[in-house]
Amino acid sequence: MKRNYSAFAEDIPAYSGPKAARETHADLKQLSAIPGHIYTRPDLQILPGQRRFSKMPWLVPMLELLPPASISHLKEWGLSTIFVLAKNYNKLVHVWESVTAMVELWHPQTNSFIFPEFEATILLEELEIMLGLPRYQRGEESALSYTVEQINSWSILAYITTKKNDLYSMTSGMHVHLLPIAQWITSQCKRKTTNYTAIAKAAAICICGVILFPEADGAISFGNLSIIDSISEGMKNGQAVLGFLYAGLTSEALEGSFYGSVVALELWMGMHIQFRAVEDLTMECKTMLNHPLAYVGGRLHMSPRAWCKTAQVKGIHAWRQNLRSLTVADFDMRPRFMHGRTIHLPQRTGLALRLLGNGVLVSYNPDRCHLQCGAARMVVPLLSHFPPIQERKRGDTQDERDMHSAVVHWEGCATSAIQAEVEEDDEAIAEYIEALKKLQPAGRDA
């Protein structure tokens, strides 16, 4: 993974201040005023039935053939939770009505969900814990997964096979097809070959392609192939996964296609909105039986014996009404699995962090979601001078400079520890809600 910083050893230019942020980006508008936002198109049906989220009949049979040595490699690389989710993927039922209603509240400039009284987003730390991914720690910026050069898919796949016929079947255009890779794994396992590391690498491509980077029907992009390949090298890929999901939410909110980890989104919705742990329940929650939490909830302090707060919410209209009237009390700001966790925040007001990935640089504004981050808010953060979504051009000098700048900002970011409760200033809350009214949807009716 080539990263040449020597040409950019000079100091990163200092932040130019709030004035630049105000001049670069217009004030936030109501979602209904954003051109092309699906909030204004209640009749639009995009998500249900998309083939990129269809069942994979080849996935579970292939995983059941994996030798123990290859499974050990996957666990060593931090993919235990992804492996469990992949083995049970065909049992999961995506509730597209709830996902659609959530996407309608996604603001493409703040990269957050706009509720009547607060903003919320999927935090990097939440995503890493929910999916069991290796966690980013201060001082590990060099281990953040991304590339700055053009990606040669064959050089990555060559570790699996060097047969040209296999390589041709696995790739087309700018995508890698998962089914031929799964077929190669199956043949290797049935022949009882001892190439356990190569089998594990191939399996990682398949399970990460399905759970973390669903983009096309049974295929992933070259960029995401590079991210997955770096996992075996000890690289941290949480930022790439979250940035890809953010970009997919923005694409869908603006009437484009939806991509990204819908499993991560549903885990997040389950922990914050749908379920609440109740210790004295004796019966299992039927709503959770086909939810991702049914398989990974234990590590998040959420058992199937939970109370489903949205059990009576059925259909797109009911989900819209529920989410557009959601209050602070209805949203579990600090689930138990986040208590005591350290949250990384921007260095200063108006300067967002950016999530590193292979496709785009994505603005990350956790400080806007102060109730999640566990700190009382006295002012509404200004918009960053960074564009919300910045397309990358690998191999470009400016791109390498931008990535280096993003790494430096992560290296110097602030941190905050999440507490079980946060003391709030009532006057500050009132002032914040008044400012938030400029961002929230104009109406709550479906």
Tens-place pLDDT, residues 107-122: 998 899 988 888 899 9
Tens-place pLDDT, residues 61-116: 999 999 999 999 999 999 999 999 999 998 988 888 899 999 999 999 889 998 88
**216 residue type, one letter:** A
Q: What is the pLDDT of residue 446?
A: 39
Tens-place pLDDT, residues 293-335: 988 888 888 877 777 888 888 888 999 999 999 988 899 888 8
Q: What is the pLDDT of residue 421?
A: 65
Cβ neighbours for 185, distance < 8 A, ≥ 6 positions apart: 62, 65, 66, 199, 202, 203, 206
Q: Which residue has the higher pLDDT, 439 or 257?
A: 257
Q: What is the pLDDT of residue 1?
A: 46
User: Which residue bears the tokens 């898919």?
Assistant: 153
Tens-place pLDDT, residues 341-357: 888 988 877 678 999 98
**pLDDT of residue 27 exceeding 60:** no
Tokens of 232: 């075996």
Strand residue runs (E) in 290-441: 306-308, 342-345, 353-355, 360-364, 389-391, 414-417
DSSP symbols for 269-291: HIIIIIEEE-TT--S--GGGTTS
Tens-place pLDDT, residues 240-273: 999 999 999 999 898 888 889 999 999 999 999 9
d(CA 85, CA 249): 21
CA-closest candidate to residue 1, choices 199, 231, 221: 231
Tokens of 125: 């730390």
pLDDT over 90, % of the chain:
35
pTM for the full predicted model: 0.87
Tokens of 105: 């509240």
Mean of pLDDT over the chain? 82
